[in-house]
Amino acid sequence: MIRAGSVGKISHCEYTYWDGSDAPGEEVMGDDSWDDKGRTKISHIYVAFDEVIMSIQFGFLENGALVLSEKYGAFEEGSNFRVLRLNQDEYVTGLSGVLEKDGRGIRNLTFRTNLGEYMIGRSSDNYPSDSTIDIDPAICDRREFGGFFGSYDRYRLTSIGMYLSPITSRAGPKFQNFL
């Protein structure tokens, strides 16, 4: 399988979160990674967001039953929450997102499927076009989508990407003799 790109980036750095008060800062380790490689029959996408995407979780159809992934990221009371339900004949074909201006977090995500586009998160009307990352691997067969991967810290989703599983046709190319 091929990693077809990533919206956002993982941080491996340690840093101190300081809220401006007299209290000492909070030590934060780098981001946690997640990987749903091979989990392709997505039926639901659950997203919590405020100014950035805070968390994401997937529902998969496995043996006819809904199975939930772990929740990747944070969820705080009062967050906006949206559920994207995919039809049984619908599958992911691409992904794009707009990065937060400070580069730490994702303002919105657009999931592309064979049946439409679905944007989740805050508007990015006043954001420069170079803050948009587009992953368009030209998927045209359900079997080509290989799952998602990404990273998060304790406050937000920091990256998300997708796997591409190239398929080949056993028949090979067809040529016609025009002579």
CATH number for the domain that contains residue 93: 2.100.10.30
CA atoms within 13 A of residue 17's CA, in its CB half-sphere: 8
The alpha carbon torsion through 27, 31, 32, 35 (nearest 10 deg) reads 180
Residue 179: per-residue pLDDT: 47
- The per-residue pLDDT for range 76-135, each reduced to its tens digit, is 777 899 999 999 999 999 999 998 877 778 999 999 999 999 999 988 777 666 688 888
At residue 175, does pLDDT exceed 80?
A: no
Report how many domains make up the chain: 1
- Exposed (0-12), middle (13-18) or buried (19+): which is 19, by Cβ within 10 Å? exposed
Residue 171 within a domain: no
Task: Tell whether 62 is covered by a domain.
Answer: yes
pLDDT band at 16 (very low <50, low <70, confident <90, very high): low
27 occurs within a structural domain: no
Contact (Cβ atoms closer than 8 angstroms) between residue 165 and residue 17: no
With a threshold of 0.95, does the pTM exceed it?
A: no
Encoding tokens for residue 47? 């997203």
92 lies in which domain range?
2-10+40-164
Six token digits for residue 102:
């400070």
Is residue 72 in a domain? yes
Of the candidates 159, 49, 28, which has an alpha carbon nearest to the alpha carbon of residue 104? 159
The answer to whether residue 121 is domain-embedded is yes
